[in-house]
Amino acid sequence: MKKIKAVFFDRDGTLIRDVSYLSDLDQIEVLPNVIKICQAALDHGYKLFVITNQSGIARGFFDEAFVERTHQRLQAIFLAHDIVFEKFYFCPHHPTQARIDRYKQVCICRKPSPGMLLNAAHEFNIDLTKSIMIGDSLSDIQAGLAAGCRAFNVQDLFKEFDIKKFI
């Protein structure tokens, strides 16, 4: 079976405005140029994924069901532009600041560890060496590089949108 190539997006601060622990679906605001970036990636044969740390679960700010509803809303917003994310991956853990015991742990899924990317690669037969991680933080970039992807800061892409920078 032929491996696919993927673009992995961080969520908060990359796809949508970071509001510091999203608490209401009405707070979702897609950032400028994100639609163009996603469409260009799809046009070049990439599948799209979301890879996001959601320590707000561990901290007790919201639950996993809220994160799932958020991702359903995001999928609907992007689908209106013919953009489909294959899957949303999220890490609910925090190693030190979790208020809910079962989420207080060091894990391989929390960025900068590459666990979510590796899980996606296994589940969807992704060639990570031909794939890209786009995020807004050092941990996003580190996770992408640790998985074997090329990695870009979304702000660099936003400054002068040029698909050739990352495809």
Active site residues: 10, 12
Q: Are 54 and 67 contacting, i.e. CB atoms less than 8 angstroms apart?
A: yes
In the sheet that holds 150-153, the strands lie side by side as 85-91, 46-53, 5-9, 132-135, 150-153
**Dihedrals φ, ψ of 24, to 5°?**
-150, 135
Tokens 């050739």 belong to 164
* 61: number of Cβ within 10 Å: 15
Answer whether 98's CB lies under 8 Å from 115's CB. Answer: no
Nearest to 145 by CA among 161, 159, 129, 160: 129
